[in-house]
Amino acid sequence: MKIEKTYIKDLVIVEPTVFGDERGYFFESYSKTKFEDLGIKIDFVQDNQSFSNKGTLRGLHYQNPPFAQTKLIRVLDGEIIDVAVDLRKDSPTYGKSFSVLLSSENKKQLLVPQGFAHGFSVLSETASVLYKCDQFYNRDFEGGIKYDDPSLNIDWGISLEKAIVSEKDKVLPFIENCNSLF
């Protein structure tokens, strides 16, 4: 397992070591010991899974303290553009976004620490996404940023005019008006 740092502090891509042969492949998608050996000490408490159709856009979501979540995102089937936005007001990359292609083929994962908004768009016909969280979901502490915030200028890899977006996500505020407590 190896870690690829991004230009945003604490936001990393995790690449598992894949063992393949004529039967297929095997890899550890998560090992507490291996993560700790890489300097990542997180106690995951909840797994979430979603299934989405092509053109679906979910996000950008976060939870405020004390229910802020670190997430480890991976794709079980399909292909997505995964996006994280730094909401840590004291960070030099506050308001900056990072995106990465995650797929069942490349097996990469994105570790999104507390203090970030997260979302993804589906590029394949369908996608199943699994993410581990270090804090339980709490509706009273959730927040979000509108996916088409012009100050973020995120390339979701899909047509935003045709995107499948929840009513809830369509009315989220831009980053300048979000209720982030980070």
pLDDT, residue 12, reads 97
Range of the structural domain that residue 14 is part of: 2-177
pTM over 0.75, yes/no = yes
Total structural domains within the chain: 1
Amino acid 31: pLDDT = 93
Q: So which residues are the catalytic ones?
A: 61, 131
The CATH number of the domain where 114 resides is what? 2.60.120.10
Mind listing the pLDDT tens digit of every residue in the chain (182 residues)?
Answer: 999 999 999 999 999 999 999 999 999 999 999 999 988 999 999 999 999 999 999 999 999 999 999 999 999 999 999 999 999 999 999 999 999 999 999 999 999 999 999 999 999 999 999 999 999 999 999 999 999 999 999 999 999 999 999 999 999 999 999 999 99
Residue 111 within a domain: yes
What is the pLDDT, as a whole number, of residue 60? 98
Instruction: Give dist(CA 68, CA 173) in Å, integer.
Output: 19
Strand 109-112 to 46-53 pairing: unpaired
In a domain, 79, yes or no: yes
pLDDT at 147: 98
Distance CA 66, CA 169 (A): 23
In-domain check, residue 182? no
Q: For residue 151, what are its two tokens?
A: 């100050």
* Residue 134 counted as domain residue: yes
